[in-house]
Structure 1
Amino acid sequence: MNAVLDFIAALGRAALNLVRTAGALTLFGAQALSHLVRPPFYWRIFFGALVEIGFFSLPVVALTALFSGGVIALQSYTGFAQYHVQSAIAGIVVLAVTRELGPVLAGLMVAGRVGAAMAAEIGTMRVTDQIDALTTLSTNPMKYLVTPRLLAGTLALPCLVLVADILGVLGGFTVSVAKLDFSAPVYIAATFAAVKPIDVTVGLVKAGVFGFLIALMGCYHGYNSRGGAEGVGAATTAAVVAASILLLASDYLLTDVFFSQ
């Protein structure tokens, strides 16, 4: 009987911690967003974060998308050849990349790279009392550290995903033409026939949501880190894990909203 009660109590504590964390995260994000409409806005921090998230993440996102498009073409050919519908490969590649793999893979790459960097940077400022120093200098830490990064993440990831879409389709095209003996004009025509503006648009909307969540997780865990270097390391790990989980969960919800009909 005691074991059952202990188990129920543990579940209750976990549920309360989850609700508490969700509430704190919601308030943190709302407070950061409120500073978007209240001057001043720190443009130097914003552009620095935009370059860090967008430009410096471009190589890893580009390589991931390029090879993923090629893999989709190869795997699709293996399955479709059994039913003699190889002509559908071009449509499958472009739809898979624009609807799903472009935003998700780019988001996961950026979460691992940028989310960890944000948490480490802000967490180091927290444990070395630099955030308290900002408050002493009459600079709002949320407005200075968090708000520009949230806006930069929301704007940078759709740009990365647009590049990932192009390179993913290019990867599928290259493999199909060079290895699977497709006709290049036929493949290109099938690609344009299959893709619709809504597919690309929804992928970019997903990317904006993912970018916001990644920046939010990095800033939140870094801002609330405690305990010196060990606490910064824990915050960095938590930021990447939480961002990845929220990214996949929000991906399902957005997909259900846009493509359930």
Structure 2
Amino acid sequence: MSLIVSTKKFLDETGNIAKFTGRFFSVGIRPHYEIKEFLNQCYIIGYKSFPLIALTSFIMGLVLTMQLRPSLVSYGVESQLPVMVGLAIVREIGPVITALIFAGKIGSSIGAELGSMKVTEQIDAMEVSGIKPVKYLVATRVIATTLMLPILTILGDAVSLFGAYLGVNIRSVTSFDLFFRQVFKSLAYGDVAPAVLKTLFFGFAVGIVGCYKGFNSSKGTQGVGISANSSVVLSSVLIFIIDLLAVQVTEILGLN
């Protein structure tokens, strides 16, 4: 019986998210556009998230290099360390880790912010005053997350590769020019393009889930906390699902 109830809740939630996404496409992307609010969200979502993304990416590149090096040394292929680290970061680790950090910071922020507006009836007041909440609140945030996450991923990959370069030089000496020449020589269009493209979908998922959870927050401060928490959880799950689908598509298209 509990399985049936859980399945029903899952299907209801999936249908509601799909309906909410349909509202975004039918209302949110039509003129006129809230350019000022959109730019403000880009600043908050993109610029203010970069320090956390950069710190995480730097540590990730440094630790990954230090962990891989002993294994490569034991097989006598230490010279391939820049190539392996570069491919791992650009193709998979960089986009996914950046998206998960982004979901934790921005997904929870959007869910809590819109949830607070919902429980204090600010969203209802906007509708009464003639302002469309979907256009002003949802569209600006979803488009900002969709556009900012790929940029943050590219910057995060660059910082991560710099951390990897420092990690290589802890035990040996490799010039900056030689390290990055090896990295970029190993990268192809099929490595970079799918990795950046899937972050668009990651960003869209984080934005739409955060807005949906905020808009459907229950009454009280406890409901705001639940909205913020569930935004992160659901966004993270969707990121892994989208990543799995992206890998399958790139394999079918022969880009791997």
User: Alpha-carbon deviations, 1:4-31, whole Å to 9, x = none?
Assistant: xxxxx11111111111110110110121
What is the CA–CA distance in structure 1 between the aligned matches of 2:241 and 2:188, rounded to whole Å?
A: 25
In the alignment, what sits opposite 1:68?
A: 60
Distance 1:88 1:163 in 2: 23
Q: For residues 76 and 259 of structure 1, do their structure 2 counterparts lie closer, same or farther at Cα, with a shift above 3 Å needed?
A: farther
1:176 aligns to 2:168 (yes or no) = yes
Give the TM-score of the pair, scaled to structure 2. 0.94
Query: Which residue is equivalent to 1:30?
Result: 22
Does the 8 A contact of 1:108 with 1:244 survive in 2?
A: yes
CA contact (8 A) 1:177 1:184 kept: no
Structure 1 stretches of 4+ moved >6 Å = none
Q: Give yes or no for the alignment of 1:103 onto 2:95.
A: yes
Distance 2:26 2:56 in 1: 35
Aligned residues: 253
Provide structure 2 residue ranges, at least 5 long, that are not aligned to the other structure.
none
Shift of 1:188: 2.7
Which whole-Å CA distance do the structure 1 matches of 2:251 and 2:95 have between them?
15
Q: What residue in structure 2 maps to residue 44 of structure 1?
A: 36
Calculate the TM-score normalised by the size of structure 1. 0.93
> Which residue in 2 is equivalent to 1:4?
none
Structure 1: gaps spanning 5 or more residues: 1-8
- 1:162 corresponds, among 138, 154, 158, to 154
Structure 1 position 38, deviation (Å): 1.8
Whole-angstrom CA distance in 1 between matches of 2:136 and 2:174: 53
1:179-198 to 2 correspondence within 5 Å?
179-198=171-190
Aligned partners of 2:208 and 2:66: how far apart in 1?
37
Query: In structure 1, what is the Cα distance between the partners aligned to 2:251 and 2:169?
Result: 30
Letter in 1 for 2:161: V
Q: Does 1:212 align with 2:204?
A: yes
Query: Percent identity at matched positions?
Result: 32
> In 1, are the aligned partners of 2:99 and 2:239 still within 8 Å (CA)?
yes
Query: Aligned-pair RMSD on alpha carbons?
Result: 1.4
Residue 90 (structure 1) aligned with residue 82 (structure 2): yes
Q: Does 1:239 align with 2:231?
A: yes
Shift of 1:244: 1.0
Matched, 1:135 2:134: no
SS in 2 for 1:138: coil
SS of corresponding position for 1:40? coil
